Chains A and B, each alone.
Chain A
Amino acid sequence: MSLTLKPKSGATPAAAKRPLAASPGTFLIWGSMAVFLLLLLGVVSSVVVNSFAKEWFDTWLPSGYTPTWYADAWKEYDLGQVIGTTLTVSIAVVGISVLIGAPASYVLARRSFPGKNILMLVFLLPIMMPPITYGIPLATLLTYYHLAPGLTGVILANLVPSIPFVILTMTPFIEQINPSIESAARMCGANMLRLFTRILAPLLVPGILAAAVLVLVRTVGMFELTFLTSDSTSDTLVVALFTAMTGAGIRAQQSVDAMAVVYMLMMMVLLVVALRFVNPTQLVSQVREETD
């Protein structure tokens, strides 16, 4: 089965060596895939269409189209400030978590020492726990110390899962670097600082980029932690969207949808950037693409 899926060039996989009539199993699999993608398309495009709709009641398509909802949403929800906050929070979280996480992942990838397992557990737990579980005590504490609600609180709370995430993402990249390169640098008289800045950092650029981009996507999309620690001036886009959907008062559905489209566009840009640096199918194990 696997062999037929690897045509040398051209030709769709099914048509390569098999007759056109696919087996029921194959049909079922591609069918369910198609249904899923169709639903996804419907879900996304209904938001996009509605954000341009003049009026859309009991019909297949809206009665007319207008771009004014975007201007409305921009004014009504103060999107300029919201997007600014989102960017500030994300960049701060990415910067701090890479600075803190990268050295730690270096040690964890290279050394074994007593208590390493416990340490790994401490770093793994924030990723394995639901954000609400640690978010609620954390938000209570941050409020107690007057760090939340506010920008500082949002950044601190988002760092909790981000630092472990950087550590986990970067460890395989560090393991790929040949330790003898480091030994050679040491022999030539480089100290740790020079070793890090001149040898490791350039070699680790792909790993750092992968970790940074993934943390960025996570932070922009993180709802729970931001929701618990933000106030109206420090809402990120996803929290503002939630507040607009649930908040009191009569709001045009279309302007909420316009904001959703803005969020979606932002995420798409991030996604395109992310996929330039990260191959999502190789997150767990590095596979040689050319193996036949």
Chain B
Amino acid sequence: MTLTGQRPARVEQEEPGNRPALSHRLAERGIDKLLLLLLPALVFALVLFVYPFVYGLGLSFQPKTGGLFGAYVKFFTDPSVRGLDSIWVTLQLALPAALLNVLVSVPIAYKMRGKFRGKRALTTVLVIPITLGTVLTAEGLLNFFGQRGWLNRFLGLLGFEPLQLVQNYWGVLWSLIISGFPFAFLLILSYLSGIDPSLEAAARTLGADWKQRFRRITLPLLAPGLAITFCLTFVLAFSVFPSAILVGDPSGSTRVIAYVAYNAWGQQFDYPLASAAAIVMGAVELVVIVLVLIWRSRMYKGSTGGKG
């Protein structure tokens, strides 16, 4: 912030000599003192994100035993860590949750993109779960879905056996849907509203029925938004941690990778192993995101007609 008071580089262009001043030549390439405004943010990113990340990467290659890749070998093969299993467990939770959230959001958002009465109220109701956060959702799920919860009582009235819906895979999946669906819905609604309605009106004039309009007009324009929404919802679901402990079965069916990493860090104080788990977690997530973005790059690229 202290730098904002300095004069812009443009002032120095009156300097004599045949060649323009260095600052002027740099300014032509877009480098001038204004870029100094980036400096605080860059310093923070480097000190608090890049440096710790590199430090963690280094740490993961310095385990107490087992040589260079000891921590990774331990993560994947040690029967007490069961890292590979935890990757599958996490993917089995995160992929269905993210897919479901995106796929269910599309038709609902498609129906809701126009202006209608109560839209603001409905959006508000849908934002609530985002603010509830995972911990509160978990508490509510335990009460509501539990053995003596309202849902099982209701099922009992209908003559069904009580269902085991919490302390297992389903509890965590539910919590991911409750916290992820509103997020996916709002994003997709926002992308859909950005598509110029006159495009679809034109297709309608030309005689396309709603299936054709959706498949040929809306879907291709929406595809980039779908990819981004999927990625963001997937990131949310992939980092599932508190709800896996609270409404899941952290020693068995919902032993997610974040739990493994935290366990190594906070319980066993094995920092190399924890760093290795964290790095693997980031890598797996990036692979999924890159795959989605590659799929996206093969789709239509260009303006969606709206601003943004």
Interface on A for B, CB 8 Å cutoff?
1-2, 5-7, 10-13, 25-26, 29-30, 32-33, 36-37, 39-40, 42-44, 46-47, 50, 57-58, 60, 99-101, 103-104, 106-108, 111-114, 119, 122-123, 125-126, 128-141, 156-157, 159-160, 163-164, 167, 172, 186, 191-193, 196, 217, 221, 223-224, 227-228, 238, 241-242, 245-246, 256-257, 260, 263-264, 267-268, 270-271, 275, 280-287, 289, 291
Partner of A128, one of B131, B235, B278: B235
Question: What 20 new A-B contacts, CB under 8 Å, besides A5-B115, A103-B1, A281-B186?
Answer: A2-B197, A29-B111, A42-B144, A103-B37, A107-B35, A111-B35, A119-B38, A122-B49, A130-B258, A133-B239, A133-B278, A133-B281, A133-B285, A134-B56, A137-B53, A137-B57, A138-B48, A140-B55, A159-B44, A280-B127
- Tell me whether B134 is interfacial, beta carbon within 8 Å: yes
Partner of A132, one of B8, B189, B281: B281
- Tell me whether B135 is interfacial, beta carbon within 8 Å: yes
Q: In the bound complex, how far is the Cα of B127 from the Cα of A288, in angstroms? A: 21
- Tell me whether B75 is interfacial, beta carbon within 8 Å: no
Known A-B contacts A130-B235, A280-B127; A160 and B49 likewise in contact (beta carbons under 8 Å): yes
User: Which among B15-23, B66-74, B76-84, B116-124 touches the partner chain?
Assistant: B116-124
Q: In the bound complex, how far is the Cα of B122 from the Cα of A37, in angstroms? A: 10
Partner of B104, one of A32, A196, A264: A32
Smallest Cβ distance from B262 to chain A, in angstroms?
7
- Can you list, as one digit per residue, whether each of B122-139 has a CB less than 8 Å from chain A (1) or not (0)? 011101111111111111
Q: Is the CB of A60 within 8 A of B153?
A: yes
Q: Is the CB of B139 within 8 A of A256?
A: yes
Top-5 shortest CB links A-B: A137-B56, A285-B308, A130-B239, A43-B140, A285-B194
- Tell me whether B298 is interfacial, beta carbon within 8 Å: no
Give the size range of B's interface with the partner. 35 or more
Residues in A with CB closer than 8 Å to B238 are 130
- Tell me whether B114 is interfacial, beta carbon within 8 Å: yes
Interface on B for A, CB 8 Å cutoff?
1, 4-8, 29-31, 34-35, 37-38, 40-42, 44-46, 48-53, 55-57, 59, 104, 107-108, 110-117, 123-125, 127-141, 143-144, 148-151, 153, 178, 181, 186-187, 189-191, 193-194, 197, 200, 210, 225, 231, 235, 238-239, 241-242, 245-246, 258, 261-262, 265-266, 271, 274-275, 277-279, 281-282, 285, 289, 304, 306-308
Q: In the bound complex, how far is the Cα of B241 from the Cα of A43, in angstroms? A: 20
CB-based A-B contact count at 8 angstroms: 299
Q: In the bound complex, how far is the Cα of B110 from the Cα of A29, in angstroms? A: 10
Residues in A with CB closer than 8 Å to B308 are 172, 284-286
